[in-house]
Structure formats: structure tokens, C-alpha cells
């Protein structure tokens, strides 16, 4: 990807805004849902009273309702035991009226999130975090994918950003974003390098990228000198930066804003990858419902989950 717009003599990157791409993904999810004889249903599990978790679940449930999906929120007290959490997941696994189960993270410190996630039926793993889901991804087999990495791929597709044959550099190796995104990009025929904050001379690695995706969780980690001119830069980071002199805190990404003067295309923060994550969750829910519906009851659409 080369070029960008020129404003006042200074090149500025093309903005890859999330809302239009998310709207396209949601429209495709709605079209698939319309072929099903059931209403796709997602169950959210939230443990404790963390305000951020409450807000996230509320926003996801609202989006599901806007799309015509059924959503159910199970709010458990902070002192919920591991056994009780697993029992609820088991009940939802066995409920044919529930097609997707999402466990909102983080959990209270006394709970083991990995153990709970592994209890979710992989067919209902709409967050794409079950070890079976991860294995299917790395084998290149169809399965439900983690929402943020799959949302990044959908955003690239919406804006027709080339992936095949490109050198993609991912900064960040988490199980939520960096690792599964590497698998998705490999499956799309990119050449992939995974770096992180401990990578020596990180800039030397990132400057080789045609496609640079940053998910390290460190505000302004990537500066203009670390980006190859014309590269496409996807900023997955969301960092809350305290305001000065009593000003309110602001949200910023892992990429310094001045990178817009070097990159060919850049996602904003907020308003970039964030909307794609929620839209992909809706698509995953509909795909899960389609896969759980016998083929002879569907009306024309296969509901195949991505490779």
C-alpha cells in the first residue's frame, strides 16, 4: 500500500475507519441469520461488578438486539466458585436454545479463566478462545476465530488491503490477538513476523513490514521512524492516558499519531478496530447457530465458518 492524501504539503495516511467496515460485516451476519429457522442466541457470563466488564457486556448485548439476535446476560456475584461457574457453562452448553457462550474477562482473581474457557463447548465458543478453536485455526481448518483478529482481517478485506504475498509484522504475542492473528495471516498467504516489546531493535523489524499490526498494550510504542513509508498500519491498542491539569483521560493507541505522516493507511483509535471486534462477535454467533442447525432446515446459506 503506497501513498496517502496530502494536506498542506504533508502526506497523511488513508484512514481505515472501523464503522463502515463493521456495518458491512453486520449486514452479512444479518443476511446469514435470515436464512436460519432459529434466532441465533448468545449467552454472556459476567462475574463480579467490574464497571468496565458491565459496560462491555451491556454494549455487546445491545448490538445483538439491534441485529435481531437473542442475548442473555448471566451476572454472577464476585464470590462465585469455580465449580459454580463451570456448572453454569455446562448448563448453557446443553441448552439447544443457546448457540454462543461468551465469558467476559477478566475474572476475579480467585477464578481460573483458562479452566473456565476450556469448559465451553467449542461449537459455542464465539470468542474463539477454546484450545480446540486455536488448534483448528493453526491447522487451517474451519472454526470460530477470536473476534479481534478476525475483525482485523474483515477490515483489511473491506478496504481491499492486499494480504497475500505481503510481509506482515505483528507487534504483540497474546493469545487474544497476536498469536491467532499470525495464524489468520499465514492462512491468507502473508509472510508473518511476530515481534514484541522484548524484541531487540524493534524498529528494524517493523520497518520491513508492508502490513504492520500493533497489539502490545503500550501507548505510542510505534513512532514514525519505525514505519516504512507507505505501509498499512493497524493499531489494535487502546490505552487510557491521564489528562493534564485536571483534563479528562483520553484513549490512544499503540501507534503514535504522527505515524499518519508516514504510513499509507492507518486505523484510528478509537473508531478503528474496536467496532470490528463487536461486529465479528455477532457474525461468530450467527455462524455458530448456522453450524448447529441441520442443513435441511436452512434456507440456502451454508453458514460455513472461516478457514
Query: How far apart are the C-alpha atoms of 6 and 113, rounded to whole Å?
Result: 47
Q: Which of 63, 124, 125, 127 is catalytic?
A: 127
Q: Which of 63, 104, 166, 280 is catalytic?
A: 104
Q: Is 82 a catalytic residue?
A: no
Q: Which of 60, 235, 254, 280 is catalytic?
A: 60
CA angle 162, 152, 41 (to 5 degrees): 135
Looking up cell 514514525 gives: 224
**Pairing assessment for the beta strands 250-252 and 239-241 based on DSSP bridges:** antiparallel
Q: Is 127 a catalytic residue?
A: yes
- Which residues have a catalytic role annotated? 60, 104, 127
Amino acid at each position: 500500500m503506497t501513498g496517502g492524501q496530502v494536506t498542506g504539503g504533508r502526506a497523511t495516511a488513508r484512514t481505515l475507519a472501523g464503522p463502515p467496515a463493521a456495518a458491512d460485516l453486520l449486514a452479512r451476519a444479518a443476511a446469514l441469520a435470515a436464512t436460519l429457522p432459529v434466532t441465533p442466541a448468545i449467552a454472556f457470563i459476567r462475574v463480579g461488578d467490574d464497571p468496565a466488564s458491565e459496560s462491555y457486556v451491556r454494549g455487546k448485548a445491545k448490538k445483538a438486539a439491534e441485529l435481531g439476535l437473542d442475548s442473555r446476560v448471566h451476572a454472577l456475584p464476585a464470590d462465585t466458585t469455580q465449580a459454580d461457574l463451570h456448572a453454569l457453562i455446562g448448563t448453557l452448553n446443553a441448552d439447544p436454545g443457546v448457540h454462543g457462550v461468551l465469558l467476559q474477562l477478566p475474572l476475579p482473581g480467585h477464578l481460573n479463566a483458562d479452566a473456565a474457557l476450556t469448559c465451553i463447548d467449542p461449537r459455542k465458543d464465539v470468542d474463539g478462545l477454546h484450545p480446540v478453536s486455536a488448534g483448528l485455526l493453526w491447522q487451517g481448518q474451519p472454526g470460530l476465530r477470536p473476534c479481534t483478529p478476525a475483525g482485523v482481517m474483515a477490515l483489511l478485506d473491506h478496504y481491499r488491503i492486499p494480504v497475500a504475498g505481503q510481509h506482515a509484522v505483528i507487534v504483540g504475542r497474546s493469545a487474544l490477538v497476536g498469536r491467532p492473528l499470525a495464524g489468520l495471516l499465514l492462512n491468507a498467504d502473508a509472510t508473518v513476523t511476530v515481534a514484541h516489546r522484548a524484541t531487540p531493535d524493534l524498529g528494524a523489524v517493523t520497518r520491513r513490514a508492508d502490513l504492520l499490526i500493533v497489539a502490545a498494550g503500550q501507548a505510542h510504542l510505534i513512532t514514525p521512524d519505525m514505519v516504512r513509508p507507505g505501509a498499512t498500519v493497524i493499531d489494535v491498542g487502546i490505552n487510557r492516558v491521564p489528562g493534564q491539569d485536571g483534563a479528562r483521560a483520553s484513549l490512544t493507541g499503540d501507534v503514535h499519531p504522527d505515524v499518519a505522516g508516514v504510513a499509507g493507511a492507518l486505523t484510528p483509535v478509537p473508531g478503528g478496530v474496536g467496532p470490528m471486534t463487536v461486529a465479528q462477535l455477532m457474525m461468530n454467533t450467527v455462524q455458530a447457530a448456522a453450524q448447529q442447525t441441520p442443513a435441511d432446515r436452512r434456507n440456502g446459506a451454508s453458514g460455513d465458518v472461516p478457514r
